[in-house]
Structure 1
């Protein structure tokens, strides 16, 4: 899941396409596929992908690992797809990826209290859906678009700019809980360093490996700050490891965290020298505290000095892009270029979707 966003600054002109993509586009557009259809598909992808990301984060913050119980409609398609393991993709374990757009709408309706801040006024949102579903049907059935279809989607994206900014910026508005105020297992275990693994690794990792740890929390816009951080809805834990002289092998790291994967909301790897885990405070606090310890061990075991773990000697833009592409191809929870980790109050002015809209003044939430 990666959010498309563009800061309000000049963009360099360059092609992001590999040779295979260039060849396919040259063969198909415009001789077989109208240019407008390609643009329409790209914008729809952007819109629907964003709504899936938004639903995912809010359901994880609300329900923790039990979020999947809200998506039973996806189980049939997902199990059928699972039979073709040789064709699995990063989305294969994401139940939201198996729901049609029309199936996303009831989920949004049920969880309107958690999602409304990022959407339109309720009547406007409901009224917009019939037109959007018509556009989606045209795309799905390879019908030529109406001349106003692209404009309809781009207007919706512009209307969602403010909410998308708040969604991502609130994710990155973080604070470190005071160990004297909060007594939950994560705070006492990792901020007060009372967890056995914390006592074993924090100082040792810093001195011997140049690996440091940062533990913070953020609050979703629909929640209020609680008096306790134990099994609370609407709060996310952010556990970041910074590697001064070492590089993470993302595939090895992800494999090493298999036993706690149901607790992981996101794994963020912006570059080989950082690994950030997000957990939902709605889950059992002791389980999260123990998971942080497992992640700590996994980061140390899945990293090597320099860039050797990835075969990288010079992290220029091209190599970094390839590294990020490989990381994001592993699992839908792995992020490397996502607005969930980039957008904050300092990135204004910003266009979240690049569809003609922008957030120029910091909104309240």
Structure 2
């Protein structure tokens, strides 16, 4: 029975691999989860339902992740103002403090699928390049909603549900690559008068003057500040504000390390989490703070200063034995939905080709134009 689940949830070799070999990560699920799935099937759950739910999970969580980044890039910290439909459910959920987890702070997780699709439709210009042609996208929604209803109401899946979902994921491969790769296609703004460039590129911010060289010389911690543009952004100049542009403040620690729980706790204590789009937690020696340039340049410039102070404050010369990469990812993902580790947002770029983002039989073999 376990072998069946491994076939359903296997990881696929990257597109272009000519070995003809498919491989399975032996640690794809913990023992309790394996037993639960095996016993569910043994007691009447159709195995196909597991596959359908897994593919639906990929689809809906991807759309939420995408919506979060694009809405933050467009509206900055005011992004939640257009998602009022989820506020009541989120507030109710948060009253059960013993059940709060890393996704509880994401209001997008409290929208029905139909509400999520409506948000995407109302802001189509932000999603056009990441999805398929609008007429095809709109036409597919009725079938996808039927599948969602069967999943949500625990009904038997239709024999074609899995194939329909996998075809949709294959169709979304190119757009997902563009969304991820544009996040990691970085540039350094020069000669602009915005507060972030002036404050940190030109060292005019008080904390930049005081801490940048000190951090590298005394703590072995280097700050690199870069920007990226979302695929829908048209402006070439870095303005203030600049919707569609993201700032990335990356910290590399040579002789010191940070703990992800300690770092996030300090971020929240300093009130930085409201302006932070992502905390990219690559490993204990490399973390990155992402901000939306739709917010005030002065606020972002101050936040970069707080980020530098926070990294220095929580870093330590020696820590217990560093966790392996999978352990680090697991810890990071358990903190908050804004903490990114082992995700396309911090892995995929123009060089990671060929690639499959969803492992549903599709992929991207060359860089698409956008």
TM interval, shorter chain, is: over 0.9
The answer to which structure, 1 or 2, has the higher relative contact order (CA under 8 A, 6+ apart) is 1
2:23 & 2:255 partners in 1: Cα distance? 31
1:198-248 deviation per Cα after TM superposition (whole angstroms, max 9, x unaligned): 111111111111100010111111112343331111100011000112111
Q: Which deviates more from structure 2 when the two are superposed, residues 256-265 or residues 143-152? A: 256-265
1:6 & 1:298 partners in 2: Cα distance? 39
1:226 & 1:348 partners in 2: Cα distance? 27
Paired residues of 2:179 and 2:230 also in contact (CA < 8 A):
yes
What does residue range 166-181 of structure 1 map to in structure 2 within 5 Å?
166-178=178-190, 181=191
Paired residues of 2:188 and 2:225 also in contact (CA < 8 A):
yes
How many residue pairs were aligned? 353
Paired residues of 1:202 and 1:212 also in contact (CA < 8 A):
yes
Q: 1:158: how far off? A: 0.5
What does residue range 1-365 of structure 1 map to in structure 2 within 5 Å?
7-8=14-15, 9=17, 12-15=23-26, 16-178=28-190, 181-258=191-268, 259-306=271-318, 308=319, 311=320, 313-315=321-323, 319-365=324-370
Paired residues of 1:117 and 1:222 also in contact (CA < 8 A):
yes
Q: Which deviates more from structure 2 when the two are superposed, residues 159-168 or residues 256-265? A: 256-265
Q: TM-score, normalised by structure 1?
A: 0.93
CA RMSD across the alignment:
1.5
1:50-80 deviation per Cα after TM superposition (whole angstroms, max 9, x unaligned): 0001111110000000000010000010000
2:296 & 2:184 partners in 1: Cα distance? 22
1:106 & 1:115 partners in 2: Cα distance? 12
Distance 1:212 1:7, change over 3 A: farther
Gaps of 5+ in 2: 1-10
Q: 1:13: how far off? A: 3.0
1:11 & 1:70 partners in 2: Cα distance? 43
Paired residues of 1:6 and 1:352 also in contact (CA < 8 A):
no
